[in-house]
Every structure is written in C-alpha cells, then in structure tokens.
Amino acid sequence: MEYQGLKINDAVKKVARVIFFLFVALFLIVRFYSATEDDYYTDSSEREDDDYDAVDTVQNEIRLIHNRVWRDFDDSQRSLQYSVSTTAANASSNYRNTIEVEYDGRQKVFWKDLYFGLYDHDQPQLTFLQDSILSLAKRERIEVRDLIYSVVSFIQDIPYNYIISTDSCASHTDHPCIPKQRYGVLSPVEFLYSLAGDCDTRTVLLFTLLKKLGYDPIIVNSAQYRHSMLAVSVPTEGDYFIHKGRKFYFWETTATGWLPGMLPPDMNNTDYWTIILDYEFQTDPTRNY
C-alpha cells in the first residue's frame, strides 16, 4: 500500500507539472497576441481615421471631428485633427446653392467668378485647419518650404468622389458619386466636412488653404481634358508654365503620389491648360478658354 501511494503521488506531481507548463504556455501565447494587437492599434498608418461628433458648449453647436492619418511624400506618417461645425457646413452649402454666377460665354470668367466666390465665402472658416497644419509643422519640425508638400499630400489622401450637377451617377461607376450638386463642385468647408471631392473641389480648397498659409497657388483648368489642377511655384523639375516671370508647376491632387511637375500622360499638352484663378485673383488674359 505504501508503494502504491508513492506512485499515486508521483502521478499527481507529473500532472501538476504538466498543468503548470500549460498555464505558462497559455500565458505567453495570450501575451504575445495582446502585444501584437497593441502594436497594430498604435500604428495609426494601419488604422482607419476616427471621426466623431462633439458638442461645442461655448458656441452651442455640433462639430464633426476629423482625425486624419496619411503618408507624406517622404513616407513620413502625418496626422492631424480638425473640426467643422454643422452650422458652417450648412451655411457654406447654402451659399453655393444660392450664389448666382453670370455666364457671358467665356468659361474662364465664369469659373473664375465661381471659384473666387467659394474662396471668399469660406476662407474665414478655414482658420481651424490652418491652425492644425501649423501645429503639425511645429510638432514634426517641418520647414516652411516643405509644408506645402504635407498640405497637398493630406488632400491627395482623401479618396476621390465624383461631384456632379446632373441627377444620375450611372456613367460614373469607378468612384463614389454625389449627384445633384449645383455647379458640380463642393465648397471648401463642404469638402472638409464630408471628405468627398472631385478635381475642382480639391483645387478650390487647396487654393484657399495655401493662400491662408502664405503661398501663391494657381488654379488651372482644361476644357479639352475636363479637369482642374493646382499649380505652384516651388523649386522642382517637370511640366510648368511661366506666369508673371515665375515658373509654376502643375500638381495633380486627385490621387496620392503625384508631385509638382508631373502632368498625367493623357493630359500633358500644356497648351490645353489655362489659368482660371491666380494668387492675385486674376485669370490668364493670354488664353481664350
């Protein structure tokens, strides 16, 4: 009986050791996967942007908070937070839907008057984003000459949406589409609120924002290509035009990766582009558009 008891005790000890090692192994596995999950969620480049509504008790209004995370041209991760009040978004939308732009047969003048109107109405409301960008520059130690790249890449990172004036999106199926928008463009505040924008929605926003940041942006349009693009005077190479004695390089804003001076291959005839609105709020008198 004593010998059998010893055998039982040894068996119990063996089982206890097995259970102990199983618990240790389970602990290590759980810790490993917890660490992996933490790493995933702390890497904001892999995380969806977190947007939410907040109540501004001072102004007594609801504000939509956007947290944007994107990759800059040097592959640096950038992030900033900004807010847009529903009151401002509604006011901007109402302005766009009620503004009357005269058309005398010259598209250049029509678009210039429309773009300037949207700029002039919305630019006071972009101070919140201007402040966020300046805070980003200070935090990340971005030089003034390089900040324009971060601003443009921030807008390029926002997925493209068609903004059309007609009722049907049937012929626009490769990207999301928002129909029944007067003039086929959204204002800067509407774009920042909805994060939905096409080519000239983006160029008007960037024109407005870059003006506030002290740059000299230009909006160029092409009737032949049915497209709108930004133009900037920065030290680079590529496709450009001369305006007021300076080189201005074309800059595509509807997708990531486009640098100044890179015209899309199917839109590279510079004769088909004309200035609609420059930094002094003028059009190009040398082109009939």
| CB atoms inside a 10 Å sphere around CB 211 | 16
% of residues, the chain, pLDDT over 70: 79
| CB neighbour list of residue 84: distance below 8 Å, 6 or more residues apart | 63, 64, 66, 125, 128, 189, 192, 193
- Could you tell me the CA-to-CA distances from 44 to 54, 66, 91, 154, 192 in Å, in that order? 22, 14, 33, 15, 20
User: Is 40 contained in some domain?
Assistant: no
Query: Average of pLDDT values for 82-95?
Result: 96
**Contact in structure between 128 and 80 (CB atoms under 8 Å):** no
User: Is 169 contained in some domain?
Assistant: yes
pLDDT in tens, 197-210: 999 999 999 999 99
User: Is 164 contained in some domain?
Assistant: yes
pLDDT at residue number 29: 40
pLDDT at residue number 255: 97
Residue with tokens 């055998």: 7
pLDDT at residue number 233: 97
**Contact in structure between 251 and 229 (CB atoms under 8 Å):** yes
pLDDT in tens, 185-198: 999 999 999 999 99
Show the domain range for 67.
54-214
Strand order in the sheet with 227-232: 240-243, 246-251, 227-232, 218-222, 274-277
- Half-sphere exposure (Cβ direction) of 233: Cα atoms closer than 13 Å: 14
Taking the C-alpha atoms of residue 136 and residue 147, their distance in angstroms, rounded to an integer, is 9
pLDDT in tens, 142-162: 999 999 999 999 999 999 999
| CB atoms inside a 10 Å sphere around CB 277 | 25
pLDDT at 254 over 50: yes
The lowest-confidence range among 52-66, 83-97, 217-231 is 52-66
User: Is 70 contained in some domain?
Assistant: yes
pLDDT at 123 over 80: yes
pLDDT at 184 over 60: yes
Chain-wide mean pLDDT for the chain?
A: 85
pTM here is 0.81
User: Is 279 contained in some domain?
Assistant: no
pLDDT at residue number 49: 55
User: Is 23 contained in some domain?
Assistant: no
Q: Which helix (H) or strand (E) holds 21?
A: helix 2-42
The number of distinct structural domains making up the chain is 1
User: Is 198 contained in some domain?
Assistant: yes
pLDDT class of 286 with cuts at 50, 70, 90 = confident
C-alpha 231 chain-centroid distance: 17
pLDDT class of 92 with cuts at 50, 70, 90 = very high
Encoded tokens for 225: 């290509």
3-state secondary structure of 125: helix
User: Is 1 contained in some domain?
Assistant: no
